[in-house]
């Protein structure tokens, strides 16, 4: 697939998890986020998005709204937003009020990215109360697109279902017995609250102030061709697809979104953002060394422990991998773009051409903050020419 937007004209943005490096602290991770955002603005990045993660010893980004306020207050022009607020953990009203506050303080600069994460409380396998994994990609074997983009075999999430981490997660982030509403309905309530035309089933008005009339740019983010992609298309909203999280499903996700798209007041045609994990250094060898802890970090997530503090290259080199461990992270490691600026720029252009992306979003984690800053700056110089 070839996108209508030439790769050279595609905006480049940043997703930041506020990672905690081994031997460091959450406070330092947040200071690093603010510093990186300032440098991203100076380097010409279009957006700076903050992620939401919970119960992870290696990630400080637990509340997108709070970290957005830190970043927006420290910058002047760059758009700042959530990538993404997880609707399984909060109500539409709380989301609109939080982001209405942000828009009141930083008008016209706030992006509200919405994710679908959320599981029902554990129940017997197959029961309505059992945690439901995302649908597997339709393509089950590794392949390359005509443009050369690697689409790996899908990762089997079933090993995580029923893990102690997921059980604890459900117990702590959701109210007992919570009934998660249908995802598109939640998004529509958010839209109505922002417009100011929400009515309860009894016909009563409901107004969120701040929030009503806020100049927020609304996005839907998703990792498959399921509910998120379908809702984004049906509601005519921009859609973000996660190559860095679910590389096997990225084409399915963007295709499902485009097939479901209905023009709206927001968009007259589909608008797609695609993410990638990148590490850039002065040469390919240095970049690969800086990126070498990534596999250990991904393994900590997929093995059910939660994201650990990001290891150093030396800590990564000391780890003895088993075949089973490597298999668990292979799709993510092989689709990480690590190299010189010219190497990674070409890989991103391949990603853009294969997905037809209108924007690209990069996320970078290295053990040392200075290496992450340098990666950001080298990529921006090469991308913007």
- Name the residue ranges covered by the structural domains of the chain: 7-384
Confidence of residue 82 (pLDDT cuts 50, 70, 90): very high
pLDDT number for residue 8: 58
pTM of the model: 0.92
**Rounded Cα gap, residues 152 and 157, in angstroms:** 15
Q: What is the pLDDT of residues 358-369, one digit of tens each?
A: 999 999 999 999
Query: Does the domain at residues 7-384 carry the CATH identifier 3.30.450.20?
Result: no
Label the pairing between strands 359-363 and 79-82: unpaired
For 257-270, what is the mean pLDDT?
98
Has residue 172 got a pLDDT over 50? yes
83 and 51 Cβ atoms separated by less than 8 Å: yes
Q: What is the pLDDT of residues 107-154, one digit of tens each?
A: 999 999 999 875 544 443 343 343 444 454 555 789 999 999 999 999
Has residue 327 got a pLDDT over 60? yes
C-alpha gyration radius of the chain? 20
Has residue 18 got a pLDDT over 80? yes
Phi, psi of 34 (to 5 degrees): -60, -40
Q: Give the pair of three-digit tokens for residue 80.
A: 């700042």
Give 276's strand partners: 362
């Amino acid at each position: 697939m070839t996108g209508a937007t030439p790769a050279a004209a595609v905006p480049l943005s940043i997703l930041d998890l506020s990672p905690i490096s081994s031997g460091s602290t959450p406070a330092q991770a947040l200071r690093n986020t603010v510093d990186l955002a300032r440098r991203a603005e100076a380097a010409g990045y279009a957006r700076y998005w903050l992620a939401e993660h919970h119960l992870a010893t290696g990630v400080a980004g637990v509340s997108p709204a709070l970290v957005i306020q830190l970043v927006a207050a420290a910058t002047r022009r760059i758009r700042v937003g959530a990538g993404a607020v997880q609707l399984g953990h909060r109500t539409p009203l709380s989301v609109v009020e939080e982001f209405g506050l942000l828009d009141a303080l930083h008008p016209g600069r706030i992006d509200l990215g919405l994710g679908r994460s959320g599981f029902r409380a554990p129940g017997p396998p197959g029961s309505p109360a059992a945690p439901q994994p995302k649908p597997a990609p339709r393509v089950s074997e590794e392949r390359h697109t005509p443009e050369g983009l690697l689409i790996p075999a899908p990762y089997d999430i079933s090993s995580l279902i029923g893990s102690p981490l997921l059980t604890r997660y459900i117990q702590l982030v959701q109210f007992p017995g919570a009934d998660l509403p249908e995802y598109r309905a939640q998004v529509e309530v958010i839209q109505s609250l922002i417009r100011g035309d929400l009515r309860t089933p009894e016909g009563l008005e409901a107004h969120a102030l701040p929030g009503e009339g806020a100049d927020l740019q609304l996005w839907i983010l998703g990792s498959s061709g399921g509910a998120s992609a379908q809702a984004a298309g049906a509601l005519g909203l921009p859609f973000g697809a996660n190559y860095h999280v679910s590389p096997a499903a990225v084409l399915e996700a963007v295709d499902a979104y485009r097939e479901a798209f209905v023009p709206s007041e927001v968009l007259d045609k589909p608008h797609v953002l695609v993410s990638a994990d990148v590490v850039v250094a002065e040469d390919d060898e240095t970049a690969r060394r800086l990126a070498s802890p990534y596999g250990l970090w991904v393994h900590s997530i997929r093995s059910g422990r939660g994201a650990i503090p990001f290891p150093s290259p030396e800590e990564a080199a000391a780890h003895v991998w088993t075949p089973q461990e490597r298999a668990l992270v292979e799709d993510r490691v092989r689709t990480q773009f690590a190299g010189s600026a010219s190497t990674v720029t070409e890989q991103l252009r391949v990603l853009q051409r294969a997905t037809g992306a209108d924007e690209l979003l990069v996320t970078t984690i290295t053990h040392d903050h200075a290496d992450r800053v340098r990666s950001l700056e080298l990529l921006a110089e090469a991308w913007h020419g």
